[in-house]
Structure 1
Amino acid sequence: MTLTKSLKKSIPHIVLLIYVAIILFPFVFVLFSSLKADNVEISQAPFAFPKKLFFQNYSDAWVQAKIGKYFFNSAYLALSSAVVGVLVAAGTAFALTRMKFRVTSKAVYGLVLIGMLIPGNVLFIAQYKLMMDLHILNTHWSLFLPYTAGALPFSVLLISAFMKSIPSELEEAAIMDGLSAAGLFARIILPLTVPALVTVFIINFLGNWNEYLLANFFISKDALRTLPTGMVGFRDAYQTNYALISTGIVFSVTPVIVMYAVLQKQIIEGLTAGSVKG
């Protein structure tokens, strides 16, 4: 009987391990390929560990194929827009949930919900025309502004759900101590909302990091390209060199994997804390 119960408990773990193995298998193949000397070694033993670790591929891809430049453009655009978006969303969520603006809060919250219903790609033409009217096409501003604004609806909803779970007694005690609204937000509410802020930041960062449509049409200068669009040219230029192509793929997915591995606990807390406490 005990053996049967143990077996039943083990089945979900076994299924998940199989699922993880299936998901990781393509990445392991790409990682091994990026460390092989040439196409011959890849074709002869596509799934085998490299005979000799050929790190020169990473140097060639980073410098000669300009992956380093594209990587930097994506990193600072994704990081800056995610940080600004989180701060703006946190301020908006604070005004909606902790300040007494009943009519205005309902109106703004309704606009946020409407924003959630509109697919981002539907706004492409309007965004393009707006960037053109602002004369910022072919600059990083044409990506920074849509990235920041596009993430606000989801960010505001998630942070608002978390802020609603914060006890009002903390707010009342802070006001009794003489804190202003700005002080209450910066010194009390914001530190308590860190799990939700981290979750929103990660989601926004990854969305910006992987974004292709706007980056492809709004940026034409090679020096300003982000990693997703730069990888297309990289693939075309080195389509016969599978080792270098694999190296470029490793560069593009490594930040995502590292971020999830390091901050997975904060992601789960941010997504679940508001619903559990509320």
Structure 2
Amino acid sequence: MPVALKKSIPHIILLAYVCIILFPFVFVVFSSLKESNVEISQAPFAFPKEFHFQNYIDAWVQAQIDVYFFNSAYLALSSAVVGVLLAAATAFAITRMKFPKTSKIIFQSVLIGMLIPGNVLFIAQYILMMDLKILNTHWALFLPYTAGALPFSVLLISAFMKAIPGELEEAAVMDGLSASGIFTRIVLPLTVPALVTVFIINFLGNWNEYLLASFFISKDALKTLPTGMVGFRDAYQTNYALICTGIVFSVTPVLILYAFLQEKIIEGLTAGSVKG
């Protein structure tokens, strides 16, 4: 077998895999731009005869996709940002500050937290939110989203921070920086790849979360996109074009985020695997 052909086989296999993965999404996009169910049923995989962008306007305004979209956006964004900052501060205390016994206890607690499935805590979380009297508010989602992401976030950021040379901190101390100055001016900029990775993972998890949002929020004006899409599907279950339009709205932010930050994701996931 020629060397060039042998090297191209993995690329061909990966290209075929990508086409298989993207095919359903392409079908959804084409269907969202078609005028009616008749056109979809007659040519389900064909290119639209005419781009019918009115579907997007109808779904955005009439079906309240705009309300669900912005609820999900700011909840996912705010909880992901706060979670990253809390995880980074915890990881810094564990890996860079000189409290060996305390750091070990905190790190073991973080590992134990990763062993507990999130759904097991559902009843306890519901009772807690009820006692705090924040059910049917976005606080009922913000707090579990932020806290639930901490164990994995701390573990990943800690692995990255352990690889930072200690000489940088010694030089910073000689320059008169305090612990907070070292954290904000030295450590955080060096851990940007891990921070971006953790942010994206947390954002995607919060964006797609359904169980807590469906039980903790019943007011229609406060619903997130996953729970709002259920009502959208029930209301427009015979209009496949509008249903596909709603799917496009829910998937597009994730694709855009990953497209711009995919290099940071890969760099962050490999962080701490090799020290040197």
- Aligned equivalent of 1:207: 205
Which of the numbers 250, 258, 261 marks the counterpart of 2:259? 261
| TM superposition outliers: structure 1 runs of 4+ over 4 Å | none
Q: Partner of 1:273: helix, strand, or coil?
A: coil
TM-score (norm 2): 0.99
Q: Which amino acid aligns with 2:34?
A: K
Deviation of 1:6 after TM superposition, in Å, equals 1.5
Deviation of 1:273 after TM superposition, in Å, equals 2.7
- Aligned equivalent of 1:44: 42
Taking only the aligned residue pairs, the percentage that are identical comes to 83
More off after superposition, 265-274 vs 89-98: 265-274
Deviation of 1:238 after TM superposition, in Å, equals 0.1
Query: 1:54-65 to 2 correspondence within 5 Å?
Result: 54-65=52-63
Q: Partner of 1:275: helix, strand, or coil?
A: coil
C-alpha distance in 2, partners of 1:194/1:187? 12
Structure 1 segments unaligned to the other structure (5+ residues): none
More off after superposition, 5-14 vs 35-44: 5-14
| 2:108 is equivalent to residue 96 of structure 1 | no
More off after superposition, 143-152 vs 9-18: 9-18
Deviation of 1:5 after TM superposition, in Å, equals 1.7
Which of the numbers 144, 147, 150 marks the counterpart of 2:145? 147
Q: Which amino acid aligns with 2:33?
A: L
Q: Partner of 2:242: helix, strand, or coil?
A: helix
CA deviation map 1:111-149 (0-9, x unaligned):
000001111011000000000010001100000000000
Q: Which amino acid aligns with 1:197?
A: L
Deviation of 1:178 after TM superposition, in Å, equals 0.4
Query: 1:169-248 to 2 correspondence within 5 Å?
Result: 169-248=167-246
Q: Partner of 2:164: helix, strand, or coil?
A: coil
Deviation of 1:197 after TM superposition, in Å, equals 0.2
C-alpha distance in 1, partners of 2:46/2:18? 19
- Aligned equivalent of 1:6: 4
Deviation of 1:276 after TM superposition, in Å, equals 2.5
Deviation of 1:26 after TM superposition, in Å, equals 0.2
Q: Which amino acid aligns with 1:70?
A: Y
Q: Which amino acid aligns with 2:50?
A: K
Q: Partner of 1:277: helix, strand, or coil?
A: coil
C-alpha distance in 2, partners of 1:22/1:148? 34
Output the aligned Cα RMSD. 0.7
Q: Partner of 2:2: helix, strand, or coil?
A: helix
How many residues are paired up?
276
Which of the numbers 71, 74, 77 marks the counterpart of 1:76? 74
CA deviation map 1:99-121 (0-9, x unaligned):
01111100000000000111101
CA deviation map 1:42-78 (0-9, x unaligned):
0111101100000000000000000000000000000
